[in-house]
Amino acid sequence: MVQGVLSRISGPVVQATGMRGSQINELVKVGEMQLLGEIIALKGERASIQVYEDTSGLRPGEKVEGTGAPLSVELGPGLLSGVFDGIQRPLAAIREESGDFIARGVQVPSLDRKAKWQFNPSVKNGSHAETGDVLGTVQEFNIEHRIMAPAGVKGKVEGIQSGKFTITHAICKIGGKEVTLMQKWPVRLPRPVREKKHFEPPLVTGKRIMDTFFPLAKGGAAAIPGPFGSGKTVNQTDLAKYSDTEMVVYVGCGERGNEMTEVLETFPRLVDPKTGKPLMQRTVLIANTSNMPVAAREASIYTGITIAEYFRDMGYDVAVMADSTSRWAEAMREISGRMEEMPGEEGYPAYLGKKLAEFYERAGRVWCLGSGSHNRSGSVTVVGAVSPPGGDLSEPVSQSTLRVTKVFWALDSALSRRRHYPAINWLKSYSLYLGELREWYEKNVSPEFYELRGQAMALLQKEAELQNIVQLIGPDALPDKERLVLEATKMIREDFLQQNSYDEVDAYSTLRKQYWMLKTVLHFHSKANSALALEVPLAKILESPSRQKIAVLKRTVDKDVEGKCRAIIHELDGEFAK
């Protein structure tokens, strides 16, 4: 292994000489305390290293030792319900080792080496196996943790048997190479797949504005930009709880300590609506707060996406919540400045867009590796929060993110102040998956689903135009037809788009419920329009008893919604027929 000496220290970035033979992205141990770092630039025998811990107290002349391996994560049983820092150090184990504060240089294995797991093989001795093949399973909470043949192995399976093993115990040999329950993978290298699949079906979130108006495909990428206090973290927490994924990887990247503490306290108390058990049993948390070393923040995003790819390769649908990529970009900006690189717009490195694209491109829906596993598919869906200063979406991180993501859920602080949740602005948001998902919605929900969505969006856009006039002359001066538009859009906003995250029924809506609710609201508008054409006074139309019943549909349980909506539609037909 290469050994060098420290020659320069500049915050989290240090330089070492005598490092000839090292490689870019190689993990190194810096100084007497053996602080972990990663080589990010090489020039001759001089290496620039980003250190994942506080560098105060380091002195020129101290040793730098190469490990010969890149920054990698440990993948195996024990990941679920784990809370790790940006470089996958387990925070609970560190607390036992060093107390409430992380001591510098503390080295704790990412996964518990003492715990034993019941392994049940699914292949026989003498069978052929290659990279990606499922060798057996370990039951971890309600999840079947599939043990796969690691990269680079191929050949005959020997010595496989069931039993309780630690993650470092050899469970078999494949082609003469020992295989354990745990494998390692470099965080900056995407895990290979057989091939990528089309974007279908949608990621069902239970949020009506997301699923009906701006859907996200499984394996897709979405951005949630918004100013401080607009609800980015709350939205991502709800997505983690209600979306129809099997695993969640939540990356708290550079968030404030009190906000990350709230997430760490909230997640263990959240009940998984699918199983009735704690949500943490299918969650991995990466906690890297803003007061932690900036270099580890830069690595945390890669740690989270690599863990997600591992579960995807088992054949699961995984959601990655990155909160927030703006803090990640700020970490890159600081490190780039220490490296004295040429700055780009607003001081961010010129390669900011490339780094963001590389991260979001690791999302996708794929056929997994392995012989005979053509029917095993998985997906990684990435939802990245963006925190633009002052809510300015023209800043570089927001613009670079929008170029590579296909769903844009624009949070609005004005809606948030009015207690409208989710505070997603329906006029600024968009989804580029609409065309790809249309056939799925029409086949699995209703043939008229997209037609209803188009009618609702047209009404909301018309309302925005009318609001400019209303502010000048007031609503009473408008013709009845345009006043009816304002009443109909008020129903869409308050009775359909707005949800109560604390109400067990209203917090989650199935696609079928969303369809019937929207159909009922638009049926009222259609009948009211016809009545206006027959010169029925608007005041009389708005007194309709059935209209009041539409407002309580959001609190109607899913199995009863269709019946209630059909009854309301029938009543509306009768009322307007008179």
Q: Give the tens place of pLDDT for each residue, 434-484.
A: 999 999 999 999 999 999 999 999 999 999 999 888 877 877 778 889 999
The stretches of 130-254 forming alpha helices (DSSP H) are 208, 232-242
Cα–Cα separations (whole angstroms), residue 445 to 178, 367, 492, 514: 49, 26, 19, 10
One-character DSSP codes across 125-155:
TT-EEETT-EEEEEEETTEEEEEEPPTT-EE
At 263, is the pLDDT very low, low, confident or very high (cuts 50, 70, 90)? confident
pLDDT at 292: 77
One-character DSSP codes across 485-516:
HHHHHHHIIIIII---TTSTTTT---HHHHHH
Q: Enumerate domains of the chain plus CATH numbers.
A: 3-70 (2.40.30.20), 113-181 (2.40.50.100), 194-432 (3.40.50.300), 445-577 (1.10.1140.10)
Residue 257 has a CB neighbour count (10 Å cut-off) of 13
Q: Which of 245, 231, 412 has the alpha carbon at shortest distance from 324?
A: 231
Q: What is the pLDDT of residues 200-225, one digit of tens each?
A: 899 999 999 999 999 999 999 999 99
In the structure encoding, which two tokens stand for residue 347, read together? 């001081």
Compute the average pLDDT of residues 225-239: 85
**97 exposure class (CB count in 10 Å sphere: 0-12, 13-18, 19+):** middle
At 284, is the pLDDT very low, low, confident or very high (cuts 50, 70, 90)? very high
pLDDT at 373: 54
**What's the half-sphere exposure (Cβ side, CA atoms, 13 Å) at 19?**
32
Q: What is the pLDDT of residues 340-363, one digit of tens each?
A: 888 888 899 999 999 999 999 999
Q: What is the pLDDT of residues 531-550, one digit of tens each?
A: 888 888 888 888 888 888 99
In the structure encoding, which two tokens stand for residue 116, read together? 């034993």
Residue type, 369: L
Q: What is the pLDDT of residues 33-86, one digit of tens each?
A: 899 999 999 998 999 999 998 888 899 999 999 999 999 999 999 999 999 988
pLDDT at 392: 82
At 391, is the pLDDT very low, low, confident or very high (cuts 50, 70, 90)? confident
Residue type, 184: K
Residue type, 297: R
- 190 pLDDT above the threshold of 70: yes
Cα–Cα separations (whole angstroms), residue 20 to 31, 163, 467: 18, 46, 67
Contacts of 563 (CB under 8 A, 6+ apart): none
Lookup result for tokens 């009389």 = 540
What does the alpha-carbon distance between residue 96 and residue 452 come to, in Å, rounded to a whole number? Answer: 57
pLDDT at 374: 55
Residue type, 553: L
Q: Which of 311, 51, 294 has the alpha carbon at shortest distance from 191?
A: 311
**pLDDT, greater one: 391 or 522:** 522
- With beta carbons less than 8 A apart as the criterion, state whether 411 and 227 touch: yes
The stretches of 71-165 forming alpha helices (DSSP H) are 91-98
In the structure encoding, which two tokens stand for residue 143, read together? 């999840």
pLDDT at 56: 87
**Least confident span in 297-311, 328-342, 428-442, 445-459:** 328-342
Q: What is the pLDDT of residues 117-154, one digit of tens each?
A: 999 999 999 999 999 999 999 999 989 999 999 998 99
**pLDDT, greater one: 254 or 49:** 49
- 255 pLDDT above the threshold of 90: no
**25 exposure class (CB count in 10 Å sphere: 0-12, 13-18, 19+):** middle
- 370 pLDDT above the threshold of 80: yes
pTM, two decimals, is: 0.93
- With beta carbons less than 8 A apart as the criterion, state whether 311 and 98 touch: no
Q: What angle do CA 515, 518, 519 make, to 5 degrees?
A: 80
What does the alpha-carbon distance between residue 124 and residue 121 come to, in Å, rounded to a whole number? Answer: 8
Compute the average pLDDT of residues 549-559: 91
